[in-house]
């Protein structure tokens, strides 16, 4: 399987040249793969939309699905770069670790992080990926999905959290609706005892969620005396990043 992927990547790499269509012979020559192997891989790439086939000339060129992948990759890179100074500001103002997360299937994954000054931390590292119903920042990602996605998620994935917090499906859906309306989520003890999270959505020019950001700390520091003020700060920073990403609301 890995060898097949490497061969497919080699073919796509050759096809990056602009305004050129490639025959099987061309690709076989430039990749040192047999014509039969090239043909088999191209057939799969055509089915996936990564390559298109011209029946008149019997040649191939890169397909539209790669454009979509490129746009997403560029978008995420810009998002991460633009978020860096804002996460620094967020950590400075709240004194907590701040995070930027995106949806990955049924999980939320950390793609950017800024460390706060406190030594006692709730550890979340780059690439850390857990279920969307665990913690405020990830709940935001879930709350802004389609009704169909949320319904399927609640039906198939709403297991108890690591702290054995059992969620009632109806109440959880209501919680998501409130998060969507208020554009803020606050959670306590979802997946770490005495852990507190505050999250808010990052929206694009179509008012669609592209990420969520927020802070995670302990209940000792994030308490009833400062939780509202910290939630306000998280909302402000999330809105600022949203505006940088084209949101005009």
* Residue-range domains of the chain with CATH: 2-62 (1.10.10.10), 75-244 (3.30.450.40)
Q: Given pLDDT bands bounded at 50, 70 and 90, which one contains residue 195?
A: confident
Cα–Cα dist 88/142, whole Å: 25
What residues have CB less than 8 Å from 201, skipping those under 6 apart? 140, 141, 143, 144, 183, 209, 211, 212, 238, 242
Angle, in degrees to the nearest 10, between helices 64-94 and 227-244: 150
Strand partners, 99: 113, 214
Q: What is the pLDDT of residues 114-125, one digit of tens each?
A: 988 876 656 666
Cβ-based neighbour number of residue 154 at 10 Å: 17
**Rounded mean pLDDT of 188-199?**
86
Of the candidates 199, 186, 195, the one whose C-alpha atom is nearest the C-alpha of residue 234 is 199
Residue 69's pLDDT is what?
A: 73
Tell me which of 152 and 76 has the higher pLDDT. Answer: 152
Mean residue pLDDT across the chain: 88
Residue 32's pLDDT is what?
A: 94
Place of tokens 């073919």: 11
Record the pTM.
Answer: 0.69
Q: What is the pLDDT of residues 214-244, one digit of tens each?
A: 999 988 899 899 999 999 999 999 999 999 9
For CA atoms 161, 166, 171, 173, give the dihedral sign: positive
Q: What is the pLDDT of residues 42-90, one digit of tens each?
A: 999 999 999 999 999 999 999 878 876 776 666 666 888 899 999 999 9
């Amino acid at each position: 399987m890995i060898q097949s992927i490497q061969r497919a990547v080699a073919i796509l790499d050759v096809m990056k040249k602009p305004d050129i269509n490639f025959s099987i012979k061309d690709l076989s020559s430039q990749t040192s793969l047999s014509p039969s192997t090239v043909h088999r891989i191209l057939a799969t790439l055509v089915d996936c939309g990564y390559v298109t086939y011209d029946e008149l000339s019997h040649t191939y060129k890169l397909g539209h699905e790669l454009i979509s992948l490129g746009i997403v990759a560029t978008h995420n890179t810009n998002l991460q770069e633009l978020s860096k100074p804002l996460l620094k500001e967020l950590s400075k103002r709240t004194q907590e670790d701040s995070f930027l997360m995106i949806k990955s299937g049924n999980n939320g994954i950390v793609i950017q992080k800024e460390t706060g000054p406190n030594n006692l931390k709730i550890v979340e590292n780059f690439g850390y990926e857990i279920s969307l119903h665990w913690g405020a920042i990830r709940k935001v990602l879930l709350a802004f999905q389609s009704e169909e996605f949320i319904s399927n998620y609640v039906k198939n994935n709403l297991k108890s959290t690591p702290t054995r917090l059992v969620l009632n499906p109806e109440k959880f859906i209501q919680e998501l609706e409130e998060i969507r309306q208020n554009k803020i989520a606050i959670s306590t003890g979802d997946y770490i005892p005495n852990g507190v999270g505050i999250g808010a959505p990052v929206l694009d020019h179509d008012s669609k969620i592209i990420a969520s950001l927020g802070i995670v700390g302990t209940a000792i520091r994030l308490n009833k005396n400062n939780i509202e003020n910290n939630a306000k700060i998280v909302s402000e920073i999330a809105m600022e990043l949203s505006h940088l990403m084209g949101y005009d609301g």
